[in-house]
Structure formats: structure tokens, C-alpha cells
Amino acid sequence: MSNEKNSSKKRIAIISIHSDPSAKLGGHEAGGQNVYVSELSKALGRSGWSVDVFTRLRRKRTKMVKPYAKNVNIVYIKAGPRYFMPKNKVFEALPEFIGNFLAYKTENKINYKIIHGNYYLGGWVAAQIKRICRIPMVQTFHSLGHVRHRTLKEFEKEDINIEDFKERLIAEKEIMETTDAIIATNPPEKRDLMHYYDFDLESKIKTIPCGVNLKRFRKINHKSARSYINHFSETDKIISYIGRMDWRKGIETLIRALPLVSKALPGLNLNIVVVGGKIGKKGDPDDKREISRLKEIAKALEIEKQILFLGRRDQKKLSYYYSAGDVFVIPSYYEPFGMTSLEAMRCGVPVVASNVGGLSYIIQNRKTGLLFPPKNHRILAKKIIQLFKDEKLRNKLTKNAEVVVKENYSWNKITLEMLKLYQELLS
């Protein structure tokens, strides 16, 4: 590395242990955090910052440093075995991650001005590095242990013991005490941070939302989009879901709503299109199990022929899948932010979403989308029926949504807010 680059006054380390920003999306543990780290790092690079994103090495690589974008590198750090590890098993490998991070920093004579942790795994690492290197720290949690526990208790029948979250809750508490600033991506997350952890945190919390790539996500002609996905005619009606295959995403609620929608709208050829999940011969076992479970539910409801599981798709092509749909549904039981809602809104598709977490903030009910109580398939069905029957409402929602996304959720706008925070900490 050049001396000029090493002496840069604007160099940042972003820690994202389990979410490689270059990973293909739609797999079991590849979703919103990957997008967040990817888009934020690229926007910081465009603004002149030099960015290193540190993530855990999961496979054999000939080069440990991968150029990713202008002024952005991904650095793969050895920590544990070189294969996939579930998030809840990674914590024990974090001391090794810290040691190898410090070795990389020393060997390359790099002085980072800011360290930005992501999730509690990356945050715990960033907190130790902050103490050792004495540099300012920013933390984005993406999800919180207490909120995850609350969701499991509410929506799973088996009893979930808070002790199962002990390691994570202790780590989150340490991060909050150590970091200089916490990014809440929406007001509900800020309330959760203060309610479950410490009301005195308010001075540390800065509300900066996630964003959407306005160039990548755009409205595509309906006919062209249908032609691209090549499964349905222009007259078929599509209710779409795009995201990870996880029971917490509530896809079951959407499937159970479909017979009610079909009964109320007998003249329409209704279909559900599910985009996401690593399937096929080398697919993810967890994704396959969840899809198999959903297919069994559809079969019991005698609607299996109306549901198409497409697996994950290249993010660069997702605008076609959003634009091909007539209604986009996010039926999550728990959603810290809900980036897919912004992507769908940007593509001009009316959105129906669970009234939870970040979705309750992003979606302004009856102005930019419709909200329904999580896991309530009957009310979800009513909302979908309403959109198919009321063209005036559809047009109002999509028009308002496109304006709101463009004005408030571009990554350039969000990165300016982040840079302002970084500069405040540096000064």
C-alpha cells in the first residue's frame, strides 16, 4: 500500500463478521446487513474516504484483500474454520479475529480514524479494537437480542428462555457502554434501545435510516418485466415476496391469505411468487427445510399450483421481479428495518407490510402503503383485496411512495448524515 494511502486522514474500518458485502443475497444469512455494509462502504468511497470492510474468512482464497469499489477493499480475516458457521457459533472465534485484524493493521502500517461495528458480533470486535487503538467507534446493531427474544416468545409455541440469549445480551450491553455513537435506523429501534438497555443511551443514539440504490432499483415496464421473469402472462396477477427464507419473515401468513383473496376475487388468476433462498443441489439445508414446510402448508390449502418458489436472484435484476408484481407483501413477524419495502416502493409496486419494527416507520398507512397486524392472514387478505379492487388507492400509494423514497432514502443523502457524525466524533 502506498504511503499516501496509509497516511490518509479519512480511513475507516467497517467490521461485518458474518455479512460479506459481496455475497449473493437471498441465502439463509445474507440479507439486509450485507446490503447496508455494501452500499454504505461504496458511498463512503465515492465521498473520498478510504474504506476497509473486515469480514470472516469462510473459504479458501488466494488473495485476502479484494478490491470492491472505488476506495473500498474487503479484507478477509481468519477466525475459526474456513467454512460457514451459524451466527450463534461465531462468538468463540472473535478473539482470533481481533488478533488477526491487529496483525493486518500493524503489517500494513494503517491508522484507522473511525471503526464502525455491525451487529453484536462486529460491534463486540469493534469495542475491543476501540480500547486497544483508542479510536472513535460507531455501532449499527441491525437487530437486538431482547427484541429477537420477544419475537420468538410471541410467535413460536415453544418456550424460549432468555438465558439462551445471555452471551448476546452481555455483548450488546458492553458495546453500548463502549461505543461513542449508536445508529438507530428508525425511531422504533431507538425506543427499543432505551427501553431494554438504558434510557441514558439517548445522548449516544443518532437516527440515520438505511437506504435504497436509486440507480439499481427503478420502475420497469410491466410487460417487459413479465417477459423477463418468463413465468406468467400479462393478465395473471402476482403477489410477490422477495427476501430470506426464514419463519420470522412470515411467508406462511401470505400463503394462508391467498385462498381468502382468491375467494373474494374469483375472476383473477392469482399467484404468489417467492424470490429468495439458496435452493438446488448445493442449496442451503435451512432454506430447503423452510421452503418444504411452506409447500406443505400450500398443499394442505390446495393452492400449491398457485405458488412459485424461484430461489435467490441477482440483486442487479431484482427490479424486474418487483416490477412484474401487482402487490408486494412483507409479512414479517420481526423486521428491524425492511429494505425490501423501499426497493418495492422505488419500483412502483404497492406495498402491504406487517406493522412491526422499521416497517411501521417506513410505511405511512394509506399514504405510501398498507399495514396489517403480524401473523393475521385474514386482515392481510383484506388489504390485498382492497388493492386489487381500488385502482385509485393503488395509484395514490405508489405515487406517494416513489416521492418519499427519492427524497428521504438515497444512499448519498444517508451517507452525508453518517459523514457528519464521523466528523463530529473526530473533532
User: b/e for 314-333, b at 16 or more Cβ within 10 A?
Assistant: ebeebbbbbbbbbbbbbbbb
Q: Please give the C-alpha separations between residue 9 and each of 12, 51, 128, 279, 320, in angstroms, as whole numbers.
A: 9, 12, 22, 45, 41
> In the 3-class helix/strand/coil scheme, how is 179-237 assigned residue by residue?
CCEEEECCHHHHHHHHHHCCHHHHHCEEECCCCECCCCCCCCCHHHHHHHHCCCCCCCE
What length does the chain have? 427
φ, ψ for residue 303 (rounded to 5)?
-130, 15
Q: Where are the domains of the chain?
A: 3-211+410-426, 222-408
Helix (H) or strand (E) holding 32: helix 32-46
Give CA–CA dist 377/216, Å, rounded. 32
User: What are the angstrom distances between the C-alpha of 264 and each of 299, 305, 329, 383?
Assistant: 20, 18, 18, 12
Q: What fold does the segment set 3-211+410-426 form as a domain?
A: Rossmann fold (3.40.50)
Checking 72-81 for CB contacts under 8 A at 24+ apart, the result is: 72/41, 72/42, 72/44, 72/45, 74/20, 74/21, 74/22, 75/104, 77/101, 77/104, 79/17, 80/56
* Burial (CB count <10 Å: 0-12, 13-18, 19+), residue 42: buried
Residue 192 is predicted with a pLDDT of 94
Nearest Cα to Cα of residue 400 among 353, 355, 365: 365
Phi, psi at 31, each rounded to 5°: -155, -125
What pLDDT shows up at residue 84? 83
pTM score, two decimals?
A: 0.92
pLDDT at 342: 97
Same fold, 3-211+410-426 and 222-408: yes
Sequential pLDDT tens for the chain (427 residues):
433 344 446 999 999 999 999 887 655 556 789 999 999 999 999 999 999 999 999 887 778 999 999 999 999 999 999 888 888 889 999 999 999 999 999 999 999 999 999 999 999 999 999 999 999 999 999 999 998 888 887 876 555 666 678 999 999 999 999 999 999 999 999 999 999 987 688 999 999 999 999 999 999 999 999 999 998 988 999 999 999 999 999 999 999 999 999 999 999 999 999 999 988 887 888 899 999 999 999 999 999 999 999 999 998 999 999 999 999 999 999 898 999 999 999 999 999 999 999 999 999 999 999 999 999 999 999 999 999 999 999 999 999 999 999 999 999 999 999 999 999 999 8
Distance CA 413, CA 125 (A): 28
Q: Which pLDDT score, from 0 to 100, does residue 229 have?
A: 93
Give the chain's end-to-end CA distance (angstroms, integer). Answer: 27
Nearest CA to 228 among 322, 330, 312, 309? Answer: 322
In this prediction, residue 200 carries a pLDDT of: 80
Specify the residue for cell string 474456513.
82
Q: Decide: 352 and 384 in contact? Cβ < 8 Å.
A: yes
Give CATH superfamily name and number for 222-408. Answer: Glycogen Phosphorylase B; (3.40.50.2000)
Strand ranges, E, within 5-151: 11-15, 50-56, 65-69, 72-77, 114-118, 137-140
Residues forming beta bridges with residue 74, ordered by sequence position: 53, 66
User: In the prediction, which pLDDT does 3 show?
Assistant: 39
Is 341 in contact with 364 (CB distance < 8 Å)? Answer: no
